Amino acid sequence: MDSLPSLRALRAFDATGRSLTFRAAAEDLGVTQGAVAQQVRGLETELGVQLFERHARGLAFTPAGRRYHARVQAAFAALREATETLRPQPDRVLISVTPTFAAKWLIPNLPDLTESHPEIDLQILATERVSRFQADGIDLAVRQGTPPFGASLDAHLLFAQEIIAVASPRVLHGAVDSPRPDLLRRLPKIHDTHALWPGFLALCGVADDGGRGLHLSQTTLAIDAAIAGQGVALASRFLVQRDIAAGNLVQLVPEVLRGDGDFYLLSRRADRGRPALDAMTGWLRRLAGS
């Protein structure tokens, strides 16, 4: 840190570089024009590099000054962004969810949130990575697992993990008289990274004669492939309820596989009492029926 110029000098340089006049930089910083000029001259002396060319009509960057200013601007932008993630915003709520949860449940329900709580500035971080509350600046997280999640966190059960087999009604065409377990045996299986098919087929007492099937990296893609008639997918019941109600999918067999972890809404206990966060928590629990 001892090798870095003073923050005051860097701010003066940054402001001067944006306007290329000491006068405008002084107005921007709320100091005198002489103070800005002195800070910039001191920075040039400390670095041993001329950053501006002085002309009667104003200032111009030297090549070194232009390169340095681009780096300094980027550094200040990074500092501002890092600071904003730590500074609480009363109506902003950043929620971390998986891409499947976002695509198949949260986003389809957003019109209800907009109508119920138009004051909430919701931001969605859809990632398979487990986001951290402090480091990533998130306010809420939906995670699959088993309590306890940590002494500093509140946890509310949203959905039990109930795995069902779904397929497009189109796969029943020409096979309306076939028993559903026979269809489950014969149809191609759509796989995701959770690898639940062996357990589900064992539960149903059915062998797999559906061929190699289709392998995808996310459950949301497996559900979309099932809607497109590519075979049978396994998914949590709550993720496909909307498509079942719309007639895009049918539950192929009545068996339900209970998963290892349910879906919980997590928040920091220290954040209790934030109006937007409490409203968002209440809305999620109401929609989930928990």
What's residue 108's pLDDT?
95
Q: What is the pLDDT of residue 53?
A: 95
- Stronger pLDDT, 3 or 111, i.e. the higher one: 111
Total count of residues recorded for the chain:
290
- Among the residue ranges 74-88, 98-112, 194-208, the one predicted with the least confidence is 74-88
Q: Which of 4-13, 209-218, 239-248 bottoms out in mean pLDDT, i.e. has the lowest?
A: 209-218
Is residue 175 predicted with pLDDT exceeding 60?
no
Average pLDDT of the residues in 260-272: 90
Q: Which of 152 and 139 is assigned the larger pLDDT? A: 139
Please give the residue that has the higher pLDDT: either 86 or 117. Answer: 117
The count of other CB atoms within 10 Å of the CB of residue 276 is 19
Instruction: Give the predicted TM-score (pTM) of the model.
Output: 0.68
Is it the case that residue 179 has pLDDT exceeding 70?
no
Share of the chain above pLDDT 90, in %: 65
Beta strand 250-251 with 257-258: parallel, antiparallel or unpaired? unpaired
Rg over alpha carbons for the chain, rounded to the nearest Å, is: 29
- Residue 174 pLDDT greater than 70, yes or no: no
Whether 123 and 95 have beta carbons less than 8 Å apart is answered as yes
Higher-pLDDT residue of 272, 3: 272
> What pLDDT is recorded for position 189?
95
Greater confidence (62 vs 173) lies with 62
The CA-based diameter of the chain, rounded to the nearest angstrom, is 92
**pLDDT surpassing 90 at residue 132:** no
Quickly tell me which residue has 């990274």 as its tokens: 193
Stronger pLDDT, 207 or 259, i.e. the higher one? 207
- Which residues fall within 8 angstroms of residue 64, CB to CB, at 6 or more apart? 49, 50, 51
Identify the bridge partners of residue 122 per DSSP, sorted by sequence position.
Answer: 93
For the stretch 32-86, pLDDT in tens is: 999 999 999 999 999 999 999 999 888 999 999 999 999 999 999 898 888 777 7
pLDDT range class, residue 89, cuts 50, 70, 90: low
| Structure-token pair, residue 147 | 């309590």
Q: Using the predicted structure, report yes or no on whether residue 239 has a pLDDT greater than 70.
A: yes
pLDDT of residue 110: 95
What residue ranges define each of the domains in the chain, with the CATH number in brackets?
7-86 (1.10.10.10), 92-161+261-288 (3.40.190.10), 162-258 (3.40.190.10)
Lowest mean pLDDT among 61-75, 86-100, 222-236, 243-257: 86-100
Q: What is the pLDDT of residues 140-150, one digit of tens each?
A: 999 998 888 87
Residue 177 has pLDDT above 80, yes or no: no
Report the chain's mean pLDDT, rounded to a whole number: 90
Using CA atoms, how far apart are residues 91 and 89, in angstroms rounded to an integer? 6
User: What is the model's pLDDT at position 62?
Assistant: 95
Predicted local confidence at residue 64, as pLDDT: 96
